Structure 1
Amino acid sequence: MNQLSFFDEPPAATLDAPLSERAVEDFIENVAEFDQFGTKTARDIIDEIPYFVNEFWTAGQRQAHSIHEISYRACFKAQLPQFFIERLTRPGDVVHDPFMGRGTTPVQAALMGRQAFGNDINPLSVLLTRPRLAPVDQGAVDKALRSVDYNSGKIRRDDLKAFYHPETLAGLEALRDWIDVHAPIGDHTPDPVADWIRMVSINRLSGHSPGFFSGRSMPPNQAVSVKAQLKINEKLGVTPPPRDIAAVVSKKTRTLLKDGQAPSQVRHSLHVGSAWDTPGIAERSVDLVVTSPPFLDIVQYALDNWLRCWFAGIDPETVKIAMHRTEESWTEMVHNVLAEQARIVRSGGHVAFEVGEVRNGKVLLEKLVWRATEGLPFERLGVLVNDQEFTKTANCWGVNNGSKGTNTNRIVVLRRH
């Protein structure tokens, strides 16, 4: 069998064959030669960690699929999982993200004909991801939207008039009631059209333009408080205007679907729970993990997601997102997560573990991830640094060259023994 290098596309004739095992030397040789965008890879070894810096992908030259256009805080670009999926898996393989967030990894995996697995402690993640893995069409969505009696809604929270015109708020309540009938929150196999409408509505709750249900506000993934919204209204001298709910959802649906959808036969498996405990995923069943954990900051889940939770019918106080405020605590969490990945990833499978720059580059999280793998059955292949301003590579090594640093993706790549 011909051995596949880390950065080569598998030949069409061997798509049904298992991927060959790759040695560390093979990985280093191929990443060092990567020059797709005309720039050779810079490489170094720092504290015994191999680093490879290049513009491995760029949003400018590879625009993401339209179905990814769902807002979520601290999410990575679809080009990141695409890069690893197309090089480390074949159609039909299982791709998983234990911190799936808005679902970028499983959705991209499905678009590429892979089986889409995902997990998140945040129940909103399933509501944002699952609808984009099931086939829907514009006509079915518009027909369902026309069936809702928007005049039947009863306003249950007067304080939300800070965001919405009373007619809009009543209409949203009617839509919530309709969704609860057709896609109740605890239903694992809801009506796909109703599930889709809820997903789109969650993303249209508040924003700065007429494309949202609210008056002028912050986006729904960073929803301000009622008190703060009242101050915004007072400062601008405005009150929320009425919105056509069906028109807003229909327009966003058209935007999301303009590039098509994932193949209908793709299997998906989504879970809600801690990333270090995913009993719903079988041992040695995953070919590739692409993920990014919460970084060293405090996630104010209730404050950030309270408006989305209101619409979805979720009590944000029940979402127990762990806080990891110290490097030691965060490293222990990563070790536990990677131990679970070692359980579910097959021999020869890979983990691409993305971390960003935190605290102005003073803390290099990839070093903590490297340390967290100790004692686990992984081969540490190196750290890829995707840097789209390649002239500032000094920052990638944690060196101050007179600027605040580059905005990079830093991915620790592991191979399961």
Structure 2
Amino acid sequence: MRIRAHHVRTAALSTGIAATLCVPLAVSVAAGAGNTVLISRGRPAVASSITGGEVAARANDASTVTRWASAAGPGTQWVRIDLGSAQRIDRVRLSWGSAYAKTYRLQVSGDGSNWTDLYSTRAGNGESDDLKRLNGTGRYLRVLATQRARTSGGYALSDVRVYGPASKALPAAAPATGSLASGLEDGRKKERAMQLISSAENSTLAWRRQFSYIEDIGDGRGYTAGIVGFTSGTSDMLAVVAEYTRRKPGNVLAKFLPALRAVNGSDSHAGLDPGFPAAWRAAAADPVFQRVQEDARDTYYFKPALRFARGDGLRALGQFAYFDAAVMHGVSGMRAIRAAAMRTARTPAQGGDEPAYLNAFLNARVAEMRTEEAHSDVTRVETAQRLFLRRSNLDLTAPLNWRVYGDAYRIAS
């Protein structure tokens, strides 16, 4: 790595997201005093997952008999209501049932990406929660459930009612896309992950321009090169060149295979200088070599990281945290960081709170980075991944804004 009350139609979107497609009206249902009214009924709703036909829209329809129900299993789930425009939120009433959240957060957002807690509890009891004097403002309201009360099933909410000042009729919102709740298996999320890594590895979001990158960064691993920093000292560069030669015999890098085998496990350039860097850059123009690099990235880092992250019940942010750790420390290093985190926090799959576990993982990652001078700048964690966690952006939903090594970056969509 480099150092630096109207007609409603419901539909199930891809990746298990339940959505409401509607043309909403202002609903004037008194909430108690003054001009406070119900502002959430019939607004577009999406959820992280659903069970059967119990879609997100059932949490904010006119009935307390219907409900939204998530997929079964431990971990984090959410239901989100789009209020149409920035609204002041004074009060929220939640009606749970037997499938309730022991730990949950009530959150508000202006962009559906960055969230602020209005209320949180670790002592949910499954009753109706009438949360008053909230004094929040945002377009989106979300219930983020992170720990189940029961050992089986998922979460269910029969009613979510949001109250605020009386306002004019709100515009219809654009339908949510299927990428909201997806993990890094979604091509758009994977692209964001690669842009995030490239911002730290190469000081640019244009990761596809890094096929030709090569230099010795002085970290004891010899040459570092390519889209995720393959190194001559840790066998993955050797594997890349060997596979390239298998697919395209006689390529410009093939003659360096004996030298790569000899320097593997060291920081030596013996047999590689002076021609290897130039040959690597020349090969990078070949689509076959580019494909080899992408396949090696997936085989050695991306797929193993996702396998562990999914097994631990992590959403897209946690999947990315594992992937980024694997790129820098190798999969064995990522597993060691994971083991250190699990000594202080349970994973979602173990019934733990996802934000708490991810915080523990990032703590362990920072501690490991600081054991090497070349990796002692931990901003790729603290002003990127930790920032997303503090904003509760567990799904890596755009827009994303972060800083690495003093440089600012943004992914708008």
Normalising by structure 2, we get a TM-score of 0.28
Bigger relative contact order (CA 8 A; separation at least 6): 1
Q: Which has the higher strand share?
A: 2
Scaled by the length of structure 1, the TM-score of the pair is 0.28
